[in-house]
Amino acid sequence: MNQLGNLFKPIKIGKVELKNRIVMLALTTGYSESDNTIGDRFINFYTERAKGGAGLIIVPFTPVDIASPAQPGLYHDHFLHGARKLVDAVHAQGARIAVQLITQYHWVTSEGSSAEVIGPSPVFNQIMRCTPKALTIEEIHRLVEEYGKAALRAREAGFDAIEIAIVGGYLLNRFLSPYSNKRQDKYGGSLENRMRLPLEIIETIKQTTGEDYPIICRLNVEEFMEDGHTIRDSKKVAPVLEASGIEAINLYVGWHECSVPTVQMSVPRGAFVYCAEEIKEVVDIPVIVANRINDPILAENILSQGKADLIGMARALLADPEFPNKAREGRIDEIVPCIACSHCLAELLKTYKDWKNPVSAFCAVNPRAGKEAEYAIKPTPISKKVFVIGGGPGGMEAAIIAASRGHQVTLYEKGDKLGGQLLIASLPPYKDEINSLVRSLIVRTHKADVEVKLNTEVNLETIEQEKPDVVVLATGATPIIPDMLGVQGDNVVTAVEVLNKQKEVGKNVVVIGGGMVGCEAAEFLAQQEKKVTIVEMLGRIGSDIVTTNRPFFLARLRKAGVRMDTNVKVEEITNNGVRISRNGVPDFLEGDTAVLAVGFKANRELAEKLKEKVAALYLVGDCAEPRMIKEAIKEGFCVGMEI
């Protein structure tokens, strides 16, 4: 434990004592049952995180008055049974548990009627793509009552505290924000009026649940919306909330539709700690800081410097439920880091586009998330001789899981390092976080007693001589060299060669292919003061970029002066540029260098040779089909479990 003394110091939120400073923030998963009750999947997910050592768990979005797809509810007594089971399971592991009460973008006017998008004022809702109906005073009163009733149920279910969510551009946030609240009555206008609804809710909850029942307020302190609240405004809001009797402030930043990234890989670790410092200046209750804190040393430093009282982590604990225990036991290097790829969020936001088909969250680096019971790692009855070929994420994950189940595993890598294509994926701007995954995979590979053979290219002869029981191929993929006039010229390089700095690039560059890799190479080159044009055959640049990252990425490219040209067919690469056609109309783009980024082809030569030569042959990751980390790790994991 040692150097993490502050992180593991107990603290009180009101009368509730937490054993440490790690708070699992609300993280909507979609793991509740289809009737919005809490069932085994939900309970297993949180029990694992409680067992992993979190001090406080906050159950996500629990609407007070409406069935919201795949989210838990507390708007009826029939939710109490599942909620009690959850609370008991978490308490049994020594953690405390709170529930986040919320009204999202919509509600129902009466039982059985369909959902209606609501707001303080008819200001367009960019997420729901419609203008909300402004709530009447009577409806506001009804809402306040619903909060009181839901809070009482929370107390009856045994939750240690409740959290009121003024976050993300959802209803209470819309009331607080001058951006969306244009009301002329006592719920709009001045700050006092815009705060009225949250304050009435707090007051009602205190009346129904008792003064001693702790309320945490999750407050959006930097909205990053035009005319929205900044930290300066929030410094006025926080003391008023404290005076209303809440016991802690949990910080939130941004709306889903804001133009500033808040959770992406491009956001530096701990980027919003400054907000906690500011809020701590004006309140005496505990302040929970959030966003991009995925490292216990950073967490400890924040606490030891007095910048916050508790550390909120959402995705870090999705990625590794054992994060707290590993940190406490000095096994920091074994933590599976959240790399902020944002796939979990992108997946979840799909529900807002299609309510009828709610999705549930997954984690790119932790295939067990949400499948804790199904994917329990059990020892193998027969220990087999397993060869894993390829030391990228897919190969390492397969090796770790197979070895930890008791197989004798040898991992072969033809290069001089483990990491595979992640070593290249981490090179573009803002991608350094990928290195933390590489480091963690390498440590876990060694700790699982996998025998690692670097600089060893496996071929058919190796397999015939060594006769393993199982071969797992994780040989990755290679950049495609398209069949195109001039492609063999000296001025043609691949995006991988550019990122690796294997090849020189001129001042004026045409990147052929506007997918994620092409865009990353373009940004990499633009940062070196090159003039860059991306040409893309499709009508859309970056169509394979995670939806939650894409707008920010394209904005950066535009700001860096990268030209993006769509619906372009490359006819020929010449010594001084690229001959193209746009909708059949020829054109010429000048350039010293052409950078190819037209995709990858699976490395399957060895697979073809090994077919029918080994009893058990598995393909994982890009060598099955070029894709991303999430598939490589998931498939590596599943094969490791199967053999």
Ligand X SMILES: Cc1cc2nc3c(=O)[nH]c(=O)nc-3n(C[C@H](O)[C@H](O)[C@H](O)COP(=O)(O)O)c2cc1C
Q: Which of the listed partners (ligand SF4, ligand FAD, ligand X, none) does 557 bind, with a CB threshold of 5 to 8 Å by partner kind?
A: none
Query: How many residues sit in the footprint of ligand SF4 (CB under 6 A)?
Result: 13
CB of 364 to ligand SF4, least distance (A): 4
| Position among 96, 153, 307, 315 found at the interface with ligand X (CB under 6 A) | 315
Binding string, residues 478-507; x marks residues near ligand FAD by CB under 6 A: ------------------x--x--------
Binding string, residues 413-452; x marks residues near ligand X by CB under 6 A: ----------------------------------------
CB of 58 to ligand SF4, least distance (A): 16
Residues 6+ apart with CB under 8 A from 70: 30, 31, 32, 34, 36, 351, 358, 359, 360
| Torsion angles phi and psi, residue 60, rounded to 5 | -75, 180
Q: Which of the listed partners (ligand SF4, ligand FAD, ligand X, none) does 36 bind, with a CB threshold of 5 to 8 Å by partner kind?
A: none
Residue 97 or 510 having the CB closest to ligand FAD: 510
CB of 106 to ligand X, least distance (A): 15
Binding of ligand FAD by 591 (CB under 6 A): no
CB 147 within 8 A of CB 64: yes
Binding of ligand X by 348 (CB under 6 A): yes
Closest CA to 566 of 584, 545, 540, 590: 540
| Position among 19, 414, 446, 531 found at the interface with ligand FAD (CB under 6 A) | 414
3-state class (DSSP) for residue 224:
coil
Query: How many residues sit in the footprint of ligand FAD (CB under 6 A)?
Result: 37
> DSSP string covering 395-436, please?
HHHHHHHHHHTT-EEEEE-SSSSS-TTHHHHTSSTT-TTHHH
Which of these segments, 43-51, 314-322, 461-469, 617-625, binds ligand X (CB under 6 A)? Answer: 314-322
Binding of ligand SF4 by 339 (CB under 6 A): yes
Closest CA to 217 of 201, 231, 229: 201
Which of these segments, 26-34, 138-146, 413-421, 633-641, binds ligand X (CB under 6 A)? Answer: 26-34
Sheet containing 593-596: order of strands: 492-494, 593-596, 508-512, 531-535, 563-565
> DSSP string covering 29-69, please?
---S-TTS---HHHHHHHHHHHHTT-SEEEEEEEESSS--T
CB of 630 to ligand SF4, least distance (A): 7
Which of these segments, 114-122, 368-376, 485-493, 628-636, binds ligand FAD (CB under 6 A)? Answer: 628-636
Binding of ligand SF4 by 205 (CB under 6 A): no
| Position among 6, 7, 23, 28 found at the interface with ligand X (CB under 6 A) | 28
Say how many residues make up the chain: 643
* Strand 310-313 versus strand 22-24 pairing type: parallel
Interacting residues with ligand FAD between 463 and 482 (CB under 6 A): 474-477
Binding of ligand SF4 by 343 (CB under 6 A): yes
Closest CA to 477 of 628, 638, 339, 617: 628
Closest CA to 198 of 120, 308, 291, 131: 120
Place of tokens 């390089």: 493
Residue 262 or 445 having the CB closest to ligand X: 262
CB of 450 to ligand SF4, least distance (A): 22
Residues forming beta bridges with residue 228, ordered by sequence position? none
| 111 to 71, 115, 132, 300, 435: CA distances (angstroms) | 17, 10, 20, 48, 51
CA-CA distance, 223 to 252, in Å (whole number)? 9
Residue 57 corresponds to which tokens in the numbers above?
Answer: 């768990």
CB 480 within 8 A of CB 600: yes
Binding of ligand X by 249 (CB under 6 A): no
Residue 241 or 425 having the CB closest to ligand FAD: 425
CB of 391 to ligand FAD, least distance (A): 5
CB 135 within 8 A of CB 96: no
Interacting residues with ligand X between 357 and 416 (CB under 6 A): 361
CB of 4 to ligand X, least distance (A): 18
- Measure CA 146 to chain center: 31
Binding of ligand X by 292 (CB under 6 A): yes
Instruction: Summarize as ranges the residues that interact with ligand X (CB under 6 A).
Output: 25-28, 60-61, 100, 165, 167, 218, 252, 263, 290-293, 313-316, 344-345, 348, 361
Instruction: Summarize as ranges the residues that interact with ligand FAD (CB under 6 A).
Output: 341, 389-395, 412-415, 420-422, 424-425, 457-458, 474-477, 496, 499, 517, 520, 603, 606, 621-623, 627-630, 632
